[in-house]
């Protein structure tokens, strides 16, 4: 019998571990597991794939829109960029997620980057359960905060001290406040297409959801505040040099994603980060690396180690929280001790360093440390994924390129080179929308935007990459 691509099964081994996978994925079902129970999710009579996908999720989306603006709590989740209505995810395990209608998908979103171990990793789950049983929040210092801060400072070359916060937005906002206080200057330089959270002054030619929705300059941001942000072009060394040599004496900080991840993935051009370091040092501005995506993702020490450029301040997030709300910013002791209560720069948060988030983060980072060759494995998987996507586009005769750093990558459609914001804007978003929905029907969940990254995890393997390749060949051929 030929099972539909979207039928799924949940198998429970004798050890009690449950795993969901497409029923037609025989190799995955045969991975030497002794299965004691199996629950099969099948279509109802007369179902089509769109009907199956839409049934419960559509009902929930309608309910959500009545009480949540747009029905989502972060705009890109609305699927506005690709059309249609979002599926509601019920659970995840390893490299797969399952929606409320029981359909399983190979997941390439990974909660937008944090889940480097995959979904519901047993070590993270155990750490969260243990911590929650002992109390979830105290508004007081805890031992684990010291342990996590010590681990972050030991890992990231430019960091001596860190302050834990709850989101990447908080981290970048606080780092720039500190930079302004340290330099006595007001101006900030950012790069077109780079997204640093929904800080008012940084929603100027921003990427991520703002880029996807076509609203890079958000209403509600005062013109006077936006005027304090100067915008340069990512990977344009000469343009940056001219800007800083003319106005550098007014600039408090230059903030950059060392690997841009919010206009799709765009690596730094050779010499670009080095020029940033040279020019900021020349004019006395601080260099801030937003490593919310790249930290502990592209290397244990982050992008600054991979590219050999040390910033003055570093913002971290995503992986360091293991899927729970947690972020941080850090730098040299002399800078960080300008923060209250030691110094005059105020920054605070009720749930900063939340014990449950810290437990998840510590468990994630320790699991990476305990996995021999973790980053070599992620690099290998990323290379394989890049290869199958390139092959799929070539087989379909579709102009495309794949940008990748480590286990993060973007397939750009309709364009054969992307090195800047201007390049990214030439991508064929209409074709991407068709590709997205075709991939969904193939049982592969990719980001619902041309301008986001796909993320692999240590839970992915060769079989999952092969599944991605097969799905992409069919989806690109159909779209």
Query: Which tokens go with 88?
Result: 């509601």
Residue at token pair 């390129």: 401
Residue 181, Cβ density class (10 Å: 0-12 exposed, 13-18 middle, ≥19 buried): middle
Query: Which tokens go with 392?
Result: 């799929």
> From the candidates 101, 318, 428, 435, which is the catalytic residue?
318
User: Can you tell me whether residue 47 is helix, strand or coil?
Assistant: coil
Which secondary-structure segment (H or E) carries 368? Answer: helix 355-369
Of 329, 231, 239, 228, the closest CA to residue 275 belongs to 239
User: Order of strands, edge to edge, in the sheet holding 35-41?
Assistant: 18-22, 8-13, 35-41
Q: Beta-strand (E) ranges in 358-406?
A: 400-405
> From the candidates 101, 121, 195, 307, which is the catalytic residue?
195
Q: How many CB atoms lie within 10 A of CB 326?
A: 31
Angle, CA of 269, 252 and 180, to the nearest 5°:
135
> Please, which residues have CB within 8 angstroms of residue 249's CB and are 6 or more apart in sequence?
185, 283, 284
For residues 288 and 312, the answer to whether their CB atoms sit within 8 Å is yes
195 is an active site residue: yes
DSSP readout, 178-212? HHHHHHT--EEEEETT----S-GGG-SS--HHHHH
Phi, psi of 159 (to 5 degrees): -105, 125
Count of helix runs (H) and strand runs (E) in the chain? 16, 17
290 is an active site residue: yes
Residue 363: left if φ>0, alpha if ψ -120 to 50, beta else—which one?
alpha
Query: Which tokens go with 87?
Result: 């599926």
> From the candidates 99, 290, 312, 423, which is the catalytic residue?
290
The whole-angstrom separation of Cα 151 and Cα 163 is 13
Residues in the chain: 479
For residues 362 and 320, the answer to whether their CB atoms sit within 8 Å is no
366 is an active site residue: no
User: Order of strands, edge to edge, in the sheet holding 104-107?
Assistant: 89-93, 96-99, 104-107, 444-445
For residues 118 and 21, the answer to whether their CB atoms sit within 8 Å is no
The whole-angstrom separation of Cα 140 and Cα 190 is 35
Active-site residue set: 195, 290, 318
């Amino acid at each position: 019998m030929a099972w539909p691509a979207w039928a799924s099964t949940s198998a429970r081994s004798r050890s009690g571990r449950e795993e969901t996978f497409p029923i037609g994925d025989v190799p995955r079902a045969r991975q030497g597991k002794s299965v004691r129970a199996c629950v099969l999710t099948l279509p109802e009579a007369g179902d089509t794939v769109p009907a199956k996908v839409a049934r419960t999720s559509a009902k929930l989306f309608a309910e959500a829109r009545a009480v949540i603006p747009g029905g989502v709590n972060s705009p890109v989740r609305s699927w506005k960029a690709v059309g249609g209505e979002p599926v509601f995810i019920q659970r995840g395990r390893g490299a797969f997620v399952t929606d409320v209608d029981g359909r399983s998908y190979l997941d390439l979103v990974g909660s937008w980057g944090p889940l480097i171990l995959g979904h519901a990793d047993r070590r993270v789950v155990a750490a969260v359960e243990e911590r929650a049983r002992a109390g979830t929040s105290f508004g007081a210092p805890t031992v684990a905060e010291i342990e996590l801060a010590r681990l972050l400072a030991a890992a990231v070359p430019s960091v001596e001290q860190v302050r834990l916060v709850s989101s990447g937005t908080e981290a970048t906002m606080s780092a720039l406040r500190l930079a302004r206080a340290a330099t006595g200057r007001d101006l900030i330089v950012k790069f077109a297409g780079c997204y640093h959270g929904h800080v008012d002054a940084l929603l100027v030619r921003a990427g991520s959801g703002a880029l996807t929705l076509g609203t890079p300059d958000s209403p509600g941001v005062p013109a006077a505040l936006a005027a304090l942000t100067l915008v340069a072009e990512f990977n344009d060394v000469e343009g940056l040099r001219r800007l800083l040599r003319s106005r550098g004496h007014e600039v408090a900080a230059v903030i950059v994603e060392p690997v841009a991840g919010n206009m799709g993935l765009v690596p730094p051009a050779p010499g670009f980060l080095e020029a940033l370091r040279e020019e900021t040092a020349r004019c006395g501005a601080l260099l801030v690396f937003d490593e919310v995506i790249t930290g502990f993702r592209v290397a244990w020490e982050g992008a600054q180690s991979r590219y050999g450029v040390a910033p003055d301040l570093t913002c971290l997030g995503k992986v360091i929280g293991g899927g729970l709300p947690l972020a941080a910013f850090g730098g040299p002791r002399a800078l960080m001790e300008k923060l209250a209560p030691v110094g005059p720069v105020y920054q605070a948060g009720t749930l900063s360093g939340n014990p449950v988030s810290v437990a998840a983060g510590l468990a994630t980072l320790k699991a990476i440390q305990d996995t021999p060759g973790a980053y070599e494995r992620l690099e290998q998987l990323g290379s394989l994924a890049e290869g199958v996507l390139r092959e799929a586009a070539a087989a379909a005769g579709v102009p495309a390129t794949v940008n990748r750093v480590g286990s993060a990558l973007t397939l750009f459609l309709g364009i054969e080179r992307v090195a800047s914001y201007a390049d990214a804007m030439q991508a064929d978003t209409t074709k991407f929308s068709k590709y997205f929905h075709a991939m969904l029907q193939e049982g592969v969940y990719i980001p619902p935007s041309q301008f986001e990254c796909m993320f692999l995890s240590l839970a992915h393997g060769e079989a999952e990459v092969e599944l991605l390749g097969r799905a992409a060949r069919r989806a690109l051929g159909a779209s």
